[in-house]
Each structure stands twice: as C-alpha cells, then as structure tokens.
C-alpha cells in the first residue's frame, strides 16, 4: 500500500474536560498574546452559566449575540462590522456550527476587506487571503464539527445559494471541548449533529481506500458514537458528551489528513447535503439521517466499497448490514429516514437531485436513489 499522511497548519491545541472552559480560555489568550477578543455567543447561551464563565475568564468581554442560524451573509458582515469598530484582536466562538461558521466568515471578511454583504459570496469563490486573519478559539456546543475544519459555509436562502470557502487561515487556533457548554443545547440538535459525525465516519471510511491511520480513527469514532450518542442525550451526561466530542473530532481527524492509492466511491450523503440545505431548507442535522443509509447501499454496488463496508460492520460487531444498522439507529434517536418523514415533496427531491447532479457532474438517477425519491 502507498499513501500519504499530511499534517496541515491548522489547529494547535485541543482542550477537553468537564469544567475546563475558563482555564482553557485564559491559557489560549495568553498563548496567542491577545487581549481584546470578540465573543460570538449563540443566543441560546445568553444568561446561562456559560456567559458568566466567559465574563470571568475574559474580563469585560465584548459579546456579540444574534441569530446566526444558517449563517446568512448579513449576519457575517454585521459581526465583522462590530469587530472592525471595536478594533478587536481575536475571536472566540461559543455555540453550534452556525456561530462558529459566522466567526470564520467575519474573519474572512476582515482579511479580505469586505464591508458589503452582497460581496461576500462572490469573494468566497476566490483565493483565500494570505494575511489578516484574527486568531480564533472555537468552543462548540454541538457535534457539527465546524470547530476543526479549514472551511466555512454561508447560506443565502433568498438567492438559494450555499457557498463554502476553504483555506488554512480559516481554521481555529484552538478548540475547547467542555460538556458544560452543551447544557442548553436542545436534545434534537445534539443528536442530529452527532448523527452528522457518524455520517462523516462511516461514509468516508466506506468510500475511501484503506489506510491504517484513517481506518483506526474512523472506526473508533463510529464505535464510540454508536455506543455513546444515545447515552449522551441527557444534558447532565457529561462523560458521554465528552466522548462524543472526541469521537466527532476523530471522525475527521483534523488537522491530520490521509490519502491512499486505489479506487474510491462518491460520498453521496456529503454531496447532497448542500442542495438539501440550500433548496429544501433542510438542516445538516437532518440530511445525514435521510441519505446516509441509502448512500451506503449505493456504495455497496462497488466491489471495493462493499468489502470496506463488510469489514467495518464486522469491526463494529454488527449483526445486520451497515445500512440497516444506520436506519435502525436513526429511528431509535427519533430522526427521519424517509423524505415523507422529513416533509419533503417529490418535486423538491427532483430539484435537489437535478441541482446536485449538475454541480457535481454526477448521475441524477443515483442522486434520486440516495434521496429516496419515488
């Protein structure tokens, strides 16, 4: 076997543990040599113990707390305007994927010199700025994984455009995993983002050629999520929630990247998520439960992917096929696994299938199959 293990210049440190938030923030601000952070705080965390801890750890923290849901361009530029006006020297994002992506987006806007929301999406299609990025500390309250990626997404629902931008400057310098921050996270959101992490572990494992490092991390992530996600549904299940945080990180194992020679399959669930979000208005917390099992069934038609799928099912000790186990697990978590359960019409499914096939140069019929279209 030939392959490559690549260490990307992204995350420097990951702090994890129950109650570590205050000390971790003090440590990171000192290490980054910054004194005036802007805190982007998810609105659900206003007035909670988390906000009090932030004030204690950061002093007179400048807190910006608005609706970041779906990361509209206006929210990104509004946050950037606050950062510019107050001359902050760093950003702390506390919340789910939308809050963290908004933080990444405002840093992109500042580095690119953008002040107009209408210019944001076109600029995201261009080259990533090489300088001007404020340091970012990410404190997630969900399992979406936005904290460890080198990318962020912005969703213009009015124009039905969802665009992502990738670059090493985008990523956080540090992550703080503290189950305390998840106390106000709605159960459905926590479980849905956990299922997204499971999607990242299973689909990429099956669709990729073998690699000893990636396989070990992804299979362990999948095993932990199958075992601990349901247990973690209670807000006071701190140990299980911390396990899920680390499992979600292992599912992507950022900043470590691995590549192997050999054929691979299309990660259908990943690819379809963009159009499901932009066209159907379906959250990522729902797209994975709708498409993951069908993606695995389609991937099993490729002999290499079928072998990978059987090996992973055996490694996980499953008594049924991996797609059937995924559907059963999603149903047990109360998540939709069919378009009807998610309230999606055939016309919307067809629009999503056509748009995805056109964007990614894929078979529209296969997109329909993964979507579960009639």
Compute the average pLDDT of residues 64-86. Answer: 93
- More confident: 301 or 253: 301
Task: Determine the distance from the C-alpha atom of residue 226 to the mean position of all C-alpha atoms in its chain, rounded to a whole number.
Answer: 18
Please write the tens of the pLDDT for every residue from 10-26: 899 999 999 999 999 99
| CA distance linking residue 129 with residue 113, whole number of Å | 10
Say if residue 245's pLDDT is above 90: yes
Three-state secondary structure call for residue 167 = coil
Please write the tens of the pLDDT for every residue from 79-105: 999 999 999 999 999 999 999 999 999
Helix runs in 72-211, H state only:
73-86, 97-112, 120-124, 187-207
pLDDT the model gives residue 366: 97
Compute the average pLDDT of residues 294-309. Answer: 96
| CA distance linking residue 5 with residue 120, whole number of Å | 33
Provide the angle, in degrees to the nearest 10, between the axes of the packed helices 284-299 and 187-207.
Answer: 30
**177, 242 contact by CB (below 8 A):** yes
pLDDT the model gives residue 259: 84
Residue 18 is classified by DSSP as T
**171, 255 contact by CB (below 8 A):** yes
| CA distance linking residue 196 with residue 317, whole number of Å | 21
What's the CA dihedral at 326, 328, 331, 332 to 10 degrees?
-110
Distances (CA, A) of 106 to 65, 97, 130, 178, 349: 14, 14, 15, 24, 33
**45, 94 contact by CB (below 8 A):** yes
Say if residue 69's pLDDT is above 90: no
What's the CA dihedral at 341, 252, 70, 67 to 10 degrees?
120
Distances (CA, A) of 285 to 29, 232, 281, 306: 32, 16, 11, 26
Compute the average pLDDT of residues 231-260. Answer: 92
SS (H, E, C) 290-319: HHHHHHHHHHCCCHHHHHHHHHHHHHCCCC
Question: Residue 351's pLDDT band (boundaries 50, 70, 90)?
Answer: very high
Compute the average pLDDT of residues 239-268. Answer: 90
Average pLDDT of every residue of the chain: 93
- More confident: 273 or 158: 273
Compute the average pLDDT of residues 279-294. Answer: 91
- More confident: 223 or 3: 223
Domains and CATH numbers, the chain: 3-181 (3.40.50.1970), 186-371 (1.20.1090.10)
Say if residue 263's pLDDT is above 70: no
| CA distance linking residue 306 with residue 299, whole number of Å | 7
Least confident window among 60-64, 205-209, 314-318: 60-64
Residue 363 is classified by DSSP as -
In terms of Cα–Cα distance, which of 332, 365, 335 is closest to 349?
A: 365
Question: Residue 301's pLDDT band (boundaries 50, 70, 90)?
Answer: very high
Please write the tens of the pLDDT for every residue from 109-132: 999 999 998 999 999 999 999 999
Say if residue 358's pLDDT is above 70: yes
Could you tell me which residues come within 8 angstroms of residue 299 by beta carbon, excluding any fewer than 6 positions away? 203, 206, 207, 265, 266, 268, 305, 306, 309
């Amino acid at each position: 076997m030939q392959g490559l293990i690549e260490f990307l210049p992204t995350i420097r440190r990951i702090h994890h543990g129950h109650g570590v938030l205050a000390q971790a923030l003090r440590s990171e601000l000192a290490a980054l040599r910054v004194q005036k952070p802007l805190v982007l705080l998810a609105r659900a965390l206003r007035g909670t113990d988390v906000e009090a801890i932030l004030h204690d750890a950061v002093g007179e923290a400048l807190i910006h707390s608005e609706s970041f849901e779906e990361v509209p361009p206006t929210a990104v530029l509004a946050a950037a305007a606050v950062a510019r006006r107050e001359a902050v020297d760093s950003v702390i994002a506390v919340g789910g994927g939308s809050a963290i992506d908004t933080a990444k987006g405002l840093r992109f806007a500042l580095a690119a010199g953008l002040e107009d929301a209408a210019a944001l999406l076109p600029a995201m299609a261009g080259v990533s700025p090489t300088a001007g990025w404020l340091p970012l500390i990410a404190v997630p309250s969900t399992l979406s994984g936005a904290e460890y990626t080198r990318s962020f997404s912005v969703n213009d629902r009015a124009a039905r455009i969802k665009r992502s931008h990738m670059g090493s400057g985008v990523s956080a310098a540090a992550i703080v995993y503290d189950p305390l921050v998840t106390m106000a996270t709605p159960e459905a959101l926590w479980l849905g983002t956990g299922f997204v992490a499971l999607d990242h572990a299973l689909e990429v494992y099956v669709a990729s050629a073998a690699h000893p490092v990636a396989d070990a991390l992804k299979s362990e992530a999948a095993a932990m999520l199958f075992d601990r996600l349901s247990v973690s549904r209670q807000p006071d299940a701190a140990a299980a929630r911390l396990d899920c945080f680390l499992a979600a990180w292992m599912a992507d194992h950022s900043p470590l990247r691995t590549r192997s020679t050999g054929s691979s399959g299309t990660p259908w669930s990943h690819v379809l998520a963009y159009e499901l979000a932009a066209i159907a208005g379906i959250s990522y917390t729902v797209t994975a439960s709708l498409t993951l099992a069908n993606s695995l069934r389609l991937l099993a038609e490729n002999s290499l992917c079928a072998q990978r799928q059987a090996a992973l099912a055996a490694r996980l000790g499953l008594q049924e096929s991996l797609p059937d186990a995924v559907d059963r697990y999603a149903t047990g978590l109360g998540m939709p696994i069919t378009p009807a359960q998610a309230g999606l019409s055939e016309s919307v499914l067809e629009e999503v299938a056509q748009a995805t096939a056109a964007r990614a140069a894929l078979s529209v019929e296969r997109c329909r199959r993964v979507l579960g279209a009639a």
